[in-house]
Amino acid sequence: METVKDRFLRYVSFDTQSVATCASQPSSEKQLVLMNLLVDELKMYGLSDAGVDEFGYVMATIPSNIDKETPVVGFLAHVDTSPDMSGANIKPQTVENYNGENIVLNQSENIVLDVDVFPELKNYCGQTLITTDGTTLLGADDKAGVAEIMHTVQYLYYHPEFKHGVIKIGFTVDEEIGRGTDKFDVEKFGADYAYTVDGGMLGELEFENFNAASASISIRGKNIHPGYAKNKMLNAMLIAMEFNALLPSEKRPEFTEGYEGFYHLTAMNGTVEMAELQYIIRDHDRKKMEQMKKYLQNCINFINLRYGENIAELNITDSYSNMKEQIEPHFHIVEIARKAMEKENIIPLIKPIRGGTDGARLSYMGLPCPNIFTGGHNFHGKYEFIPVESMEKACKVILNIIELFCR
C-alpha cells in the first residue's frame, strides 16, 4: 500500500491552479490531468463506475459489502489550488522528527517558518512536517483531502473484511474561485450525506460558514487638464479612496476573528476618469450580512449626493450561505464525525469556518455536508505546512465515520 504521505507528495507535483478570469469549467485544463489520473486509480481499486464528466467532476461508488441498508455517505475534496500564489513546480521539503525550532524554508531569500509567528508548530514536536521551499504554496488545500480520501479507498480495497455500506467518492474543480459546485449533479452523486475533507488543523469539524457576497464599485470621474481643473475635475481614484474610508476599519479581516464579519478590499484599479474597487463581504449572521450590504449602498448614496448623481455605482453578487441552517436538521452527521475523532483520541475543534467550502453550497443543494480536517496549516501561501501524522489520523477518522454509519 502506498502511504498517504507519498500519495500526497505525488499529487502536489501536479499544477492544478484554478483561474478566476477564465469562464470555462474547469477554469484550467491542467486540473483535468490530475482528475484523469484519479479516475485511473479509482478503477484500479475496483470502482468500476469511476469517471470524469464534461465539467471536470470525478464521481465513483464503493458498493456495500453488508446485507443491510445504511445511509449512503460521500466524501469530497477539490483538486484545484488557490490563485493567490503559484502552484507550479512545487518542491516540498520534509522535516522529520521536528525539534520545535524555526524551519528555514528558503535560505537565499531568508524565508523562515518562525515559531514566534506560528506558535502552533510546537504542537508537532517529534512529528514529520511537510513544508514548501518558500517559493510556492504547498497545495495541502486540498490535495491533502484528495490523498486522504484516496488512501481510504486503497485501504478498503486491500481490506475487504472492513464492513461498510455504499460509499460515494467525489472530486471537484474550481473550488478556490467559488465555482466548485456550479455544475455538480447532486442527484447523480447519489449520497444521503457527505463530508468535505477540506479543513485545517487536526480536529477541525465545521458545520457553520460565512454568508458570502462580492461587491463591485465603479466610480466615474471627470478628467480635466490639471492646470485648468479648479471646480471642474473629479478624480475617480480619490473618490474611491474616500469611499473606502467610509467603511469601518475595525471590520477588516486583519482585525476580526470568530463570528466577526468583514469587508475585504481585494482589488483596485483606476485613472482620474474611472476607478473600480472589488470587495468580498462576509458574516455568519444573515441579518448582519444584509445590514453590511445596506451600509455599502448607503455609502454609495453619500458619494452620489456629494459629487453628483450616478458618480458611484454598486453591484453585489451573493456567493454562498451559511450551511448551519441546512445541517442542523441532520445534526447526527456532525455527531458521527465527532465520535469518529474521539475514537482516535482527537479533541474535536467545532468552530465556524471563516471562509467557505464546497459543502456550504452542496448543503443548500440538498446534500448536508459538514467539513472535517485535513491537518494542514497556513493555506494559500509559502508558509503552508502539514504534519504527516495529522494526515494519517484524518484517514482513520474517515474510516471511523464509515463504520459508524453502519451502526
CATH code, domain with 257: 3.30.70.360
Annotate 165-186 with b (16+ C-beta within 10 A) or e (fewer): bbbbbbbbbbbbbbbbbeebeb
DSSP state of 94: E
Whether 237 and 88 map to the same domain: the answer is no
- What tens digit of pLDDT does each residue of 132-186 get? 999 999 999 999 999 999 999 999 999 999 999 999 999 999 999 989 999 999 9
Enter the C-alpha cell of residue 237: 481614484
Whether 203 and 221 map to the same domain: the answer is no
Whether 41 and 107 map to the same domain: the answer is yes
Q: What's phi and psi for 364, nearest 5 deg?
A: -80, -10
- Alpha-carbon distance 229 to 231, whole Å? 6
CATH number at 36 reads 3.40.630.10
Look at residues 271, 299, 320 and tell me which one is the last residue of a structural domain: 320
- Alpha-carbon distance 263 to 282, whole Å? 7
Whether 62 and 24 map to the same domain: the answer is yes
Q: Which entry of 15, 141, 174, 175 is annotated as an active-site residue?
A: 175
Bond prior to 80 in cis (omega within 30° of 0): no
pLDDT band at 213 (very low <50, low <70, confident <90, very high): very high
Enter the C-alpha cell of residue 47: 470502482
Q: Which entry of 15, 80, 142, 204 is annotated as an active-site residue?
A: 80
- The string of DSSP codes covering 289-302 is HHHHHHHHHHHHHH
Match 483538486 to its residue by C-alpha cell. Answer: 79
- What tens digit of pLDDT does each residue of 345-359 get? 999 999 888 887 899
Q: Report the number of distinct structural domains present in the chain.
A: 2
Query: Do residues 370 and 401 touch, judged by C-beta distance below 8 A?
Result: no
- What tens digit of pLDDT does each residue of 273-305 get? 999 999 999 999 999 999 999 999 999 999 999
Whether 83 and 110 map to the same domain: the answer is yes
Look at residues 268, 291, 320 and tell me which one is the last residue of a structural domain: 320
Whether 65 and 106 map to the same domain: the answer is yes
Q: Which of 30, 138, 32, 19 is nearest to 87 (CA)?
A: 138
pLDDT of 161: 97
Whether 129 and 114 map to the same domain: the answer is yes
DSSP state of 222: B
Whether 259 and 400 map to the same domain: the answer is no
Look at residues 320, 342, 363 and tell me which one is the last residue of a structural domain: 320
49 labelled catalytic: no
Whether 164 and 69 map to the same domain: the answer is yes
Q: Which of 311, 312, 318, 317 is nearest to 217 (CA)?
A: 312
67 labelled catalytic: no
Whether 160 and 62 map to the same domain: the answer is yes
What range defines the domain where residue 305 resides? 211-320
In angstroms, the Cα distances linking 193 to 68, 80, 168, 367 are 18, 23, 10, 6
Whether 16 and 154 map to the same domain: the answer is yes
Whether 104 and 145 map to the same domain: the answer is yes
Q: Which of 124, 110, 31 is nearest to 382 (CA)?
A: 110
Cα 159 to its chain centre, rounded Å, is 31
